[in-house]
Amino acid sequence: MNGATALAVTYAGHMPRSAYERSKSVETIAWQEHPLARSLALRLLQESSGESRQAIGQALLDVLDDAAGLPPCKLTVADRPQRHRKREGRLEMKTYGYYRCDWDAGEARRGSIRIYNLTAIRQQILSPKVFLETLLHEWVHHYDFAGLRLDRSPHTSGFFARIRAVAETLGVGFVAPPKREASIGPLRAVDDVVPPGPSRLRPGGTDPPTWIRDQIAALFGRKEP
């Protein structure tokens, strides 16, 4: 996240209904068949090095973008620990990855995804399943901005349904979060929900909800202290 980019907290109750309601209502991805994407996704589950993950992950993004008719999205896999924050010696927040794009004249341009390949505290290599889920999570942000042309990409129940739809199409549905309705009440503060404005960077997906982090921990290992 660019420290120079001003971020604001926006809650569901203050978000334009057109963006929030449309995100919630769309549960599938509109695209053409893409048999190559399935093999690339399965290959990613066999890789651990940042270099291999970046090469194969970029190939997967290219196929998904082409299949969905989206502009290209660049992937960077950083061989460094996840950005994180502690409070009283305990891990309070960590960033798996984020999505950014330039917003110009109502169009999302030069989309990019960054994923950290090492865990926040122990600095271990991110598990293949978590890496792939993070990649799909961030790509759905790209789909929201460049495909659905939303001016925000909130974490609605529809957003997570779209992740599941992609994962199931790729034959890797087991990496996606289970079906869950959005909780009643305001959204937790996240920095991928920002006010609209021309030509500004839009980060996305920097901190998955707590329930996703808890389920990832239950499936793939204990929580980091």
210 belongs to a structural domain: yes
Number of structural domains (the chain) is 1
159 belongs to a structural domain: yes
Reading the block at residue 193, the tokens are 């929900």
Residues whose CB is less than 8 angstroms from the CB of residue 213 and which lie 6 or more positions away in sequence, other chains included? 223
47 belongs to a structural domain: yes
Distance, CA of 33 to CA of 135 (rounded, Å) = 20
8 belongs to a structural domain: no
62 belongs to a structural domain: yes
Q: What is the pLDDT along the chain (225 residues), one digit of tens a residue?
A: 332 222 222 334 445 568 889 999 999 998 887 789 999 999 999 999 999 999 999 999 999 999 999 999 999 999 988 876 666 666 667 788 899 988 777 788 889 999 999 988 788 999 999 999 999 999 999 999 999 999 889 899 999 999 999 999 999 999 987 764 443 333 232 333 232 334 333 344 444 445 445 544 554 454 444
Distance, CA of 131 to CA of 102 (rounded, Å) = 24
Instruction: Give the residue from 1, 216, 190 showing the smallest Cα distance to 119.
Output: 216
96 belongs to a structural domain: yes
Q: Which residues of 79-108 are buried (b: 16+ CB within 10 A; e: fewer)?
A: eebbbbeeeeeebeebbbbbbbbebeeeeb
3 belongs to a structural domain: no
Residues whose CB is less than 8 angstroms from the CB of residue 117 and which lie 6 or more positions away in sequence, other chains included? 50, 53, 77, 78, 79, 80, 125, 126, 131
Reading the block at residue 95, the tokens are 């960033």
- The strand pair at 84-87 and 73-81 is best described as unpaired
**3-state helix vs strand vs coil in the chain, percent to 5:** 40, 20, 45
Instruction: Give the residue from 170, 182, 172 showing the smallest Cα distance to 209.
Output: 182
Q: What is the domain range of residue 200? A: 32-220
Q: For residue 106, which phi and psi values (nearest 5 degrees)?
A: 75, 10
The helix-helix angle for 157-169 and 128-142 (nearest 10°) equals 120
What's the distance, Cα to Cα, between the start and end of the chain in Å?
24
18 belongs to a structural domain: no
